[in-house]
Amino acid sequence: MPGFELFGTEERKEVNDVLETGILMRYGFDGPRKGIWKAQELEKAITEVFGCKYAHLTSSGTAALTTAMAALNIGAGDEVIMPSFTFVASFEAVLSVGAVPVLVNVDETLTLSPAAVKAAITPKTKCVMPVHMCGSMADLDALKTICTEHNLILLEDACQSIGGTYKGKALGTIGHAGTFSFDFVKTITCGEGGVVMTNSEDVWTKCDGYTDHGHDHKGVDRGADLHPFIGYNFRISELHAAVGLAQIRKLDTFLSLQRKNNKALRAYLETIPEVSFRKVPDEAGDSCSFLSWFLPSEELTKAVIAEMKEQGILAGNFYWYANNWHYISKWDHLKNATTLNRLSDVQQQALLKLKDTSFAASDAVMSRCISTAISLLWTEEQIKEKGEKMVAAIKKVLTSATVHA
């Protein structure tokens, strides 16, 4: 999964270019920066590599989501339909713009269930935000149809699926806007960073201003810029952008290693008839940063996790169902509406309601799911050892369950 595994001389060279001039800011200082514009260069590379008209970098993936929502005019009281399985950043961003996160079930794609989305639409719904979790994608055709029918915004949280595609188009470029995260554990890292991608000039112009205190960036004198609207500071620094620039040039290498290693490990698990795999709406587009697999029941899954822990082979395997960061069952701070400062009444009421909301359909999927993070550094030998040990642990649990049945 992570680009940091292949950090090297290329990243150091790009960062050094910036350190040579000492201009760490992405705007201004035209003379002393000696033609070095890493953030601009990375934005151009993103539009070329992923095939979108516009890209605007931000200080994080969370900031990218907040920025995209502001630019898409999602605000006070608007409902954003999002999945119950995601990273906490998705609902943080919704709350940050005054909107209301409406959490709905995921299906065996580990992403938004289109039927659950349909059922959650109200007159206040403004946006559907699929999260392409663990390297693969939501059923975008179905979600697009729903959005078109109900005149809703489609915002893709593609933070975890850099390099994935759906029917030939890059994830994150298919909706009205989409975001990547370049935090330290993502497929491309800047250390910290993110991007909003869009094909709308209007959305891009708004992102450009919003991330820099509303500056219109029209003149060469930053001090004379006008402020057509209120913004924030979600800027990326030149140092961070420089790292990303080196990383994006290695993306093809990252992806081919991920795909090769994922396939090799999968071959071991495929030998067990009781193991099934995540449903992928477009198999060819899986970025393969994770291999996500299912066991027949929650009990068996918990037993396999326990067995893998016992054998010291659990590292890199994620049981999201019991994980503090990624699934509704453990988000007590969200369900209790625990914030430092006051939320709007509408937001607070919506969050408190989550406690009494059933996510049985998601539970049935997530309680049986284990995701294995795919390393770029595995050797064939290591994959063989890993695969054989995982198979042995799973078989041991399945055999013991049959004996006790």
Ligand X SMILES: *Cc1c(COP(=O)(O)O)cnc(C)c1O
Question: Cβ 388 to ligand X, closest distance in Å?
Answer: 30
- Our CB check for ligand X shows the closer of 131 and 246 to be 131
Binding residue (CB under 6 A) for ligand X from 2, 15, 62, 286 = 62
Helices (H), 105-219: 114-120, 140-150, 201-210
Among the residue ranges 36-44, 82-90, 223-231, 385-393, the one whose residues contact ligand X (CB under 6 A): 82-90
- Our CB check for ligand X shows the closer of 116 and 195 to be 195
Asked if 163 is part of the footprint of ligand X (rule: CB under 6 A), the reply reads no
Q: Which residue from 55, 59, 71, 61 is spatially nearest to 26, judged by alpha carbons?
A: 59
Asked if 183 is part of the footprint of ligand X (rule: CB under 6 A), the reply reads yes
Binding residue (CB under 6 A) for ligand X from 60, 173, 189, 371 = 60
Binding residue (CB under 6 A) for ligand X from 50, 54, 85, 87 = 87
Asked if 160 is part of the footprint of ligand X (rule: CB under 6 A), the reply reads yes
Among the residue ranges 156-164, 232-240, 244-252, 313-321, the one whose residues contact ligand X (CB under 6 A): 156-164
- Our CB check for ligand X shows the closer of 61 and 307 to be 61
- Our CB check for ligand X shows the closer of 52 and 63 to be 63
Angle between helices 9-21 and 238-248 (to 10 degrees): 150
Residue 203 neighbours by CB distance under 10 Å = 22
Asked if 292 is part of the footprint of ligand X (rule: CB under 6 A), the reply reads no
Binding residue (CB under 6 A) for ligand X from 84, 90, 211, 372 = 90
Rounded to 5 degrees, what are φ and ψ at 191? 95, -70
Asked if 156 is part of the footprint of ligand X (rule: CB under 6 A), the reply reads no
Binding residue (CB under 6 A) for ligand X from 157, 208, 238, 307 = 157
Binding residue (CB under 6 A) for ligand X from 2, 3, 61, 209 = 61
Q: How far is CA 104 from CA 84, 107, 328, in A?
A: 6, 10, 10
- Residue 96's H or E segment, with its range, is helix 89-96
Cα separation, 97 vs 158, whole angstroms? 19
Site size toward ligand X, by CB under 6 A: 14
Question: Cβ 24 to ligand X, closest distance in Å?
Answer: 19
CB 145 within 8 A of CB 295: no
Asked if 159 is part of the footprint of ligand X (rule: CB under 6 A), the reply reads yes
Helices (H), 121-192: 140-150
Asked if 58 is part of the footprint of ligand X (rule: CB under 6 A), the reply reads no
CB 96 within 8 A of CB 76: no
* Residue type (1 letter), 333: H
Q: How far is CA 223 from CA 94, 95, 210, 249, 354, in A?
A: 32, 32, 16, 35, 46
Rounded to 5 degrees, what are φ and ψ at 190? -115, 5
- Our CB check for ligand X shows the closer of 295 and 375 to be 375
Residue 296 neighbours by CB distance under 10 Å = 13
- Our CB check for ligand X shows the closer of 131 and 147 to be 131
Asked if 189 is part of the footprint of ligand X (rule: CB under 6 A), the reply reads no
Residues engaged in binding ligand X (CB under 6 A) = 60-62, 86-87, 89-90, 131, 157, 159-160, 181, 183, 194
